[in-house]
Amino acid sequence: MARYAREVAVVAFAQSDHLRRTDELSEVEMVMPVLHQVLAATGLKAGEIGFTCSGSSDYLAGRAFSFTMTLDGVGAWPPISESHVEMDGAWALYEAWVKIQTGEADTALVYSYGKSSPGSVRDVLTRQLDPYYVAPLWPDSVALAALQAQALIDAGETDEPALAAIGARSRAAAETNPHAQLSGSVPQGDYQVRPLRTGDCPPIGDGVAAVILAAGDLARQLCERPAWITGIDHRIEAHSLGLRDLTDSPSTRIAAEHAGVFEAPVDTAELHAPFSSQEVVLRKALGLGDGVSVNPSGGALAANPVMAAGLIRIGEAAARIHRGESDRAVAHATSGPCLQQNLVAVLEGDRA
Amino acid sequence: MTAASPPQVLRAPLVVEFPFTRSLGPVQSAFLTGLREGVVLGVRTADRKVMVPPVEYDPVTAEEIRELVEVAATGTVTTWAWNDRPRPHQPLDTPFAWVLVKLDGADTALLHVLDAPGPEAVHTGMRVRVRWAAERTGAITDIACFEPYEGPAGGEAAPHDGDFAGAVTGIVAQARLDYVYSPGRAQTAYINALSEQKTVGERCPSCQKVYVPPRGACPTCGVATTDQVEVGPAGTVTTYCIVNIKARNLDIEVPYVYAHIALDGAGLALHGRIGGIPYDQVRMGLRVEPVWTEGGRYPDHYRPTGEPDADYDAYKELI
């Protein structure tokens, strides 16, 4: 606990059902029920929240400044302290955590959402790539992940059956997750971009997640067993894929070191690995042994609302601590192509 | 007041296109101009590593790098991925491999595509060479693709001054993304009502304010607005401005008046153009009504109703 100035915990987590399409809902209509749910879990009113931070990307739905519209679902009157990141909500959570560490807030509402259904997310994500050397080639997210998967296969770190097993395990785990988009036995399918098959790739869908953070004794009042964030850090690597060793994730490892992951065993890991091959990289970077429950929620292979899937990993890890199913969990979020940016958090529950 | 109708979701194509004009620094300018001239350039770092494509700062030390070198147009595949179904805009429209290629003389790899007959013809470690585009402009697509190659390897990277006549100093990054837009339940109801020349808002169950146009949520209370309320058709000008500059493609003579109009029964003002009255006679409190043109999907403008002006106290909360 001495790592940071203040004790901060995830005290509540809520998420939508993750669906292939939500045509009938605008973004605020999609977000609002989840905000109400997470607030209800703590009994806090919107006006009692010290800081609000969201994560999203307008490119997904082709809708400019959509995050300002979703603020309508928060209830931003009287005026609130608010911010937004054009990233996964896990980074919004990091900003909120910093806000609490500085003493400027005692509670924070963090939410994120992705509405991928209006566009073609594989093509949309090409617009986040280097505009000089890479974006003009339109390499889609599956293609870039497939290059990483082939590098892993060439390095002898995995093979296609092992990758298929990761997808199958994830979707089997998701059978106990009522919010998951894909669960149970799902065919591995054809190659999307070889060596990755449909079953190695995440489903495309729309979804929302929200988390409430609170500091110190307030967290204890709001939650029977708070999920204390005892470490959190995020790192970024060179953008160019040709500069990186795609079989490794040094940014994840460094973030994990700074977050204290390796100081004690973890029992749960919620990894944001949208592609089966990326779980191989993350397990190695985090040094996860077979005794760790990896993605008991099903992970991003079961539901991958872009911009929310990383925050969901923190939320799922926290929820396991709230339920007493975990004592020390690691949560991971990623952003950018082939695990370019990685955030790692350690969540711990008080021991009886 | 009626309950909100069940969803009849509107959908329409939405195209987002943007031609970003981007300037190149000295390193990127040399690299892309070199491609136009059929020369592949990289940069050499302080620890003698050659980076292709070149970067301006060392990814490890963050030191500025400006030492240009020329590398071969032949190289080795370091990883690959077979793409059976090329997507729009991708460099080849027949099945191809995505490849990272370490060019002879370089220490880092370049992302591009490889034209090969099938996945069985591709492997990590295979030798490839650049196939130049027929017309080159100074862009990464001046490399049309890579192709299999069995000739001799290129040598070491050689110093290059990076000077070319007519250097490329910028690129236009074209993009087009296609969406199918749905406005959601509340706005669908609003748009559908407008097509019947009616304006409907939604009432907040908490603060009772009627939002026009409705977006499905009360931004003050943060709750869903559920009850539809027809407002107007007449309303009151709450504030206005006189527009003196003609917008491109706008077929309206200036000066004209753009106003905030609080429709009767609405909890906030929407905006519209005022017509049917000289611009310098528009005033706060003026009573107006919408004018629909034949087949119009929304009011073309608002004109005076002829009623006496509204009392300031009647609309001051809506300004």
Q: What is the pLDDT of residues A194-203, one digit of tens each?
A: 999 999 999 9
Which residues on B lie below 8 Å from A123 (Cβ)?
Answer: 87-89, 177
Residue type, A104: E
Which residues on A lie below 8 Å from B52 (Cβ)?
Answer: 242
Closest residue in chain B to residue A137, using alpha carbons only: B90
CB-based contact A191 B82, cutoff 8 Å? yes
pLDDT at B250: 80
C-alpha to C-alpha distance for B10 and B14, rounded to whole angstroms: 12
* DSSP assignment letter at B57: B
Q: How far is B254 from chain A (nearest CA, A)?
A: 29
A123 Cβ under 8 Å from any chain B Cβ: yes
Block residue for tokens 């059978």: A175
B200 Cβ under 8 Å from any chain A Cβ: no
CB-based contact A25 B171, cutoff 8 Å? no
Structure tokens at B267: 């909890």
Closest residue in chain B to residue A75, using alpha carbons only: B222
A60 Cβ under 8 Å from any chain B Cβ: no
Who's near A29: CB < 8 A, 6+ residues apart?
A73, B184, B185, B186, B216, B217, B224
pLDDT at A319: 98
C-alpha to C-alpha distance for B25 and B104, rounded to whole angstroms: 25
Query: Quick check: A215 pLDDT over 60?
Result: yes
Query: Quick check: B3 pLDDT over 60?
Result: no
C-alpha to C-alpha distance for A258 and A236, rounded to whole angstroms: 14
Query: Quick check: A1 pLDDT over 70?
Result: no
List the single residue in B59, B79, B184 with the smallest CB-CB distance to A29. Answer: B184
Cα B159 → chain centroid:
40
Complex ipTM: 0.94
Structure tokens at B285: 């409190």
Global confidence as pTM: 0.94
Which residues on A lie below 8 Å from B53 (Cβ)?
Answer: 133, 240, 242
Which residues on A lie below 8 Å from B119 (Cβ)?
Answer: 194
Q: What is the mean pLDDT of residues A55-79?
A: 90
Question: What is the total residue count of chain A?
Answer: 352
Structure tokens at B292: 């629909």
Block residue for tokens 């929820």: A319
C-alpha to C-alpha distance for A343 and A332, rounded to whole angstroms: 6
pLDDT at B5: 47
C-alpha to C-alpha distance for A93 and A96, rounded to whole angstroms: 5
Residue type, A320: R
CB-based contact A28 B141, cutoff 8 Å? no
pLDDT in tens, B126-174: 999 999 999 999 999 999 999 999 999 998 999 999 999 999 999 998 8
List the single residue in B51, B84, B177 with the smallest CB-CB distance to A62. Answer: B177
Residue A56: which of A237, A306, A304, A259 has the closest Cα?
Answer: A306
A65 Cβ under 8 Å from any chain B Cβ: no
124-143 in chain B: CB under 8 A from chain A? 124, 139-141
pLDDT in tens, B82-133: 999 999 899 999 999 999 999 999 999 999 999 999 999 999 999 999 999 9
Block residue for tokens 């909120």: A96
**Helix residue ranges per DSSP H, B43-122:** none
Q: How far is B279 from chain A (nearest CA, A)?
A: 33
CB-based contact B84 A191, cutoff 8 Å? yes
Which residues on B lie below 8 Å from A119 (Cβ)?
Answer: 177-180
A69 Cβ under 8 Å from any chain B Cβ: yes
Torsion of CA B294, B298, B303, B307, to 10 degrees: 110
* DSSP assignment letter at B73: S
Structure tokens at B98: 């995505």
Query: Quick check: A129 pLDDT over 50?
Result: yes
Closest residue in chain B to residue A116, using alpha carbons only: B179
Which residues on B lie below 8 Å from A35 (Cβ)?
Answer: 222
